[in-house]
Amino acid sequence: MEFTVKLEKPSHILRKLTVSVSAKTVENRLERGLVEVQKTAKIKGFRPGHVPLSVVKQYYGDDVRHQVFHNLIEESFKEAVQKENLKTVGSPRIETPEHKTGEGTHDHAVKEGKELTYTATVEVLPEIDVKHYAGFSLTKDRVEVTDKDVDQVINGLLDSQAQLISASGGLANADGTQSSRAAQKGDFIDITFNGGLVTETGVEEKPGMKGTRVVEIGSDSLIPGFEQNLIDMRKAETKTFRIPFPKNYPDKEMAGKKAEFTVTINEVKEKKLPELNDEFAKQVGYESLEDMKKKAREHLIVEKTNDSDRKLRSDLLQELIEKNKFEVPGALIQAQTKALAQDVAGNLKQQGFNEQMIQEALSTELENLKKRAENQVRASLLLDTIAKKENIEVKSEEIDSEIKKIAQSMNTDESKIREYYEKNSNRREDLIFRMKEEASVKFLLSKSKIKEK
């Protein structure tokens, strides 16, 4: 392909390429395009494959000019980028003297006998001159596990094995049996409820505001005030009450509005915990009560150590970002924001949020997501630059070791994990990239002054 390219640098992260594809190349591509169409063209009065080029041009000329236009831009841009040795990110903005791509209704086509000239403005990876990355003063949280911490874990295990039984201690019935006592905080209440929004003309029922469920009083799993209204109610009792939805409620249709609920208690249940002894410890997979406490402490040490390490890593990267300012390509931030938003949306969906609520929540959090995304992109670019500057590489034996760790953590055969990475070069490159980042973080920590608190 015959073309010329002129490179301009509007900013540190923008490159403007003015590309001119020769009239000869345009003419050759048009002819080739018409010949390709001629092979399969079906026009009345001619046998397929035998339509004269002049007739093909009359019927299909516009389509061919459009296709050649897009193909030449795509190919010449790719070659121009390679020629200028640019590391581009995102899609370019293409402009011709007649129009801009994606704007207006101009004809996107080449013309016979004329060269194709366009400009492509595209973002590139910044050239970072990282200078301040050694000697940071950091503080690391000291890892301490108390008996109270261990007791909380044990209580959580007891709670997970608890049984729900009908609450006793109520009034005597006429037949001598004992009725369920009044509900109190900590009880689990089986309820049937029906609700709606309070309007000037009455109560407008909503499909999502009725049903049957078990509620733990005091768990704050429902809107504020709902669980409080269940206290002192008894089995078979019905109560109607009004409470407002929070102003920041995810569903904007209900946020801040008053609701009316009618609730019937089907049953009041209380939690019965198992006895804390060796037998219980064996039931949940431990050798003894002492072994359970020992393992709980070991688990907490690992958990708190990981939390401390994560915070130290975060503080280090924030210090690195603040000490080394540079422009970041918007395309990278946009891509990372999208990835973070997908993670948030997935978590909200698992919690039972519908699509509308998820979109509203994402809209509220968009600016925070963008800020997080920008910090993550900045940190990644800086760590990559430092790795190159300090010749930090990932050795093959380190990759093997990492694959073994992944297999162990997933309780999966090592050969399957190895095959997963070896079958797809992109996956393996991603693994190496992450490992190099972590190696760079360890290097920076080794050059920092760290004290415990």
Beta strands at 137-140 and 449-452: parallel, antiparallel or unpaired: parallel
**Domain 288-452 CATH class label:** mainly alpha
Domain with CATH 1.10.3120.10 in the chain: 288-452
Fold exhibited by the domain 3-124:
Alpha-Beta Plaits (3.30.70)
What are the C-alpha distances in Å from 315 to residues 103, 234, 304, 319, 386? 45, 53, 16, 6, 17
C-beta separation of 406 from 417 below 8 A: yes
- Note the pLDDT of residue 105: 36
C-beta separation of 284 from 161 below 8 A: yes
DSSP state, 247? T
Q: Whole-structure pTM over 0.75, yes or no?
A: yes
User: Alpha-carbon distance 265 to 273, whole Å?
Assistant: 23
Q: How many CB atoms lie within 10 A of CB 359?
A: 15
Could you read off the pLDDT tens digit of each residue along the chain, which spans 453 residues?
899 999 999 999 999 999 999 999 999 999 999 999 999 988 988 988 889 999 999 999 999 999 999 999 999 999 999 999 999 999 999 999 865 544 433 457 898 889 999 999 999 999 999 999 999 999 999 999 999 999 999 999 999 999 989 887 654 455 555 567 899 999 999 999 999 999 988 999 888 889 999 999 999 989 999 999 999 999 999 999 999 999 988 888 889 999 999 999 999 999 999 999 999 999 999 999 999 999 999 999 999 999 999 999 999 999 999 999 999 999 999 999 999 999 999 999 998 888 988 998 899 899 999 999 999 999 999 999 999 999 999 999 999 999 999 999 999 999 999 999 999 989 999 999 999 999 999 999 999 999 998
Domain with CATH 3.10.50.40 in the chain: 163-272
Fold exhibited by the domain 163-272:
Chitinase A; domain 3 (3.10.50)
Does residue 232 come out as left (phi exceeding 0), alpha (psi in the -120 to 50 range) or beta?
A: left
Beta bridge partners of 258: 244
Domain with CATH 3.30.70.1050 in the chain: 3-124
